[in-house]
């Protein structure tokens, strides 16, 4: 079996394994039951995710991981996006990548939830370093930690390096703000909180989590679009399926094109990251993919609501959940505008988002 064939087989198996948490047929009953609750996801499902090796997918085998590439991780994230899976795999895997060889087995197997606390301001792709680590204690403030109420510990970026802080440690205060999709962002304040300094790096982990978020958004827009096509085939007006009307066919074709362009950009960026160490061109590829996915996911899911007509605006109808997810994740790991700006700074003028 060639390398390409082996990789394609890995991707196929990962997509198939995602059915364990993304039931075929897109039954969103579990997702609806978890909305707006705390922690907003199921720890039993998280442990199952760990047992399947997804948290350590990008870790080398010597560190307890699967040693797979970004193409595989993006395929998995896409499948999770189709099912609006709320478990924070992207950021959990990000923490593992930040720690590298120092990743504790409890994080990889899902028995302990460690989430990265790396942002100190909105709309950024750079880890904040205003937080201080002094004499084994962390002082500072981190924002936009997704699903933070479910964390057992936070992996905190500081001026002096990475630090592991227990979520229930003295000096740790968590303030959660609910989001449109039924989840939440956490603002974590550390006031001389006891911490364990740990080795690790952030740059590659942030880039990979950014691209995985784009892939998740690809799954969101694909499933929202699939639901819309099914509705256009079955909803009748004047004795005909509304999908037979040329104006609606043109709108659907435009949306399909946006999805195809997003997929091409994400797959290209994944191949670029897998080809070697970080470079300006590889960062630019990530920004191109994230900008496309952010804009396209909002366009596709908003149009999906409109093409469904009045029923699409009701909360009881599932298509609206896809728009809500796109609204939350479009700006995660940097907005489309932030990534267009970064792309322009990193790439030659003859390349375009």
Picking from 198, 222, 254, the residue at the C-terminal end of a domain is: 198
Residues 213, 183 share a domain: no
Residues 272, 154 share a domain: no
Peptide bond into 313 cis (omega under 30): no
Is residue 225, in this structure, part of any structural domain at all? yes
Does 114 score more than 70 pLDDT?
A: yes
Q: Which of 231, 218, 285, 282 is CA-nearest to residue 75? A: 218
Is residue 102, in this structure, part of any structural domain at all? no
Q: DSSP letters of 37-95?
A: SSSSS-HHHHHHHHHTT-TTTTS-GGGTS----HHHHHHHHHHHHHTT--S-HHHHHHH
Residues 127, 70 share a domain: no
Give the domain range for residue 324. 203-346
Picking from 198, 233, 248, the residue at the C-terminal end of a domain is: 198
Is residue 332, in this structure, part of any structural domain at all? yes
- Note the pLDDT of residue 350: 55
Residues 88, 118 share a domain: no
Q: Do the beta carbons of residue 322 and residue 84 sit within 8 Å?
A: yes
- Note the pLDDT of residue 238: 62
Residues 53, 144 share a domain: no
Picking from 198, 220, 245, the residue at the C-terminal end of a domain is: 198
- Note the pLDDT of residue 353: 47
pLDDT digits (tens, 9 = 90+) for 24-35: 666 899 999 999
Is residue 99, in this structure, part of any structural domain at all? no
Local confidence band at 312 (pLDDT 50, 70, 90 cut-offs)? confident
Residues 220, 190 share a domain: no
Is residue 109, in this structure, part of any structural domain at all? no
pLDDT digits (tens, 9 = 90+) for 80-113: 999 999 999 999 999 999 999 999 999 999 999 9
Residues 50, 151 share a domain: no
Query: Looking at 24-33, 124-133, 148-157, which range is the least confident one?
Result: 24-33
């Amino acid at each position: 079996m060639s390398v390409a064939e082996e990789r394609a087989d890995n991707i196929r198996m990962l997509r198939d394994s995602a059915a364990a948490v993304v039931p075929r047929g897109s039954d969103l009953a579990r997702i609806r039951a978890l909305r707006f609750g705390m922690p907003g996801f199921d720890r039993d499902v998280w442990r199952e995710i760990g047992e399947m090796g997804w948290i350590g997918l990008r870790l080398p085998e010597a560190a307890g991981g699967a040693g797979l590439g970004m193409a595989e991780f993006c395929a998995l994230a896409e499948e999770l996006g189709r099912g609006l899976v709320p478990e924070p795999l992207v950021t959990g895997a990000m923490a593992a990548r930040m720690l590298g060889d120092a990743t504790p087995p409890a994080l990889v197997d899902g028995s302990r939830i460690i989430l990265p606390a790396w942002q100190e301001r909105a709309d950024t792709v750079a880890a904040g370093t205003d937080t201080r680590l002094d004499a084994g204690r962390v002082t500072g403030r981190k924002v936009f930690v997704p699903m933070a109420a479910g964390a057992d510990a936070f992996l905190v970026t500081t001026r002096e390096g990475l630090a592991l802080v227990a979520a229930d440690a003295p000096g740790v205060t968590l303030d959660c703000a609910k989001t449109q999709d039924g989840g939440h962002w956490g603002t974590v304040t550390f006031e001389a909180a006891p911490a364990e300094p740990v080795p690790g790096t952030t740059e590659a982990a942030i880039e990979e989590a950014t691209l995985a978020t784009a892939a998740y958004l690809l799954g969101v827009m694909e499933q929202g679009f699939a639901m819309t096509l099914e509705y256009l085939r079955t909803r009748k007006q004047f004795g005909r399926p509304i999908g037979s009307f040329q104006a609606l066919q043109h709108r659907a074709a435009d949306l399909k094109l946006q999805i195809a362009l997003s997929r091409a950009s994400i797959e290209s960026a994944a191949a670029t990251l897998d080809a070697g160490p970080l470079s300006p061109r590889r960062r630019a590829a990530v920004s191109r993919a994230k900008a496309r996915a952010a804009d396209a996911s909002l366009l596709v899911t908003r149009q999906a609501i409109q093409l469904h007509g009045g029923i699409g605006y009701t909360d009881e109808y599932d298509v609206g959940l896809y728009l809500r997810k796109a609204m939350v994740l479009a700006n995660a790991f940097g907005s489309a505008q932030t990534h267009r700006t970064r792309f322009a700074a990193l790439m030659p003028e003859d390349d375009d988002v």
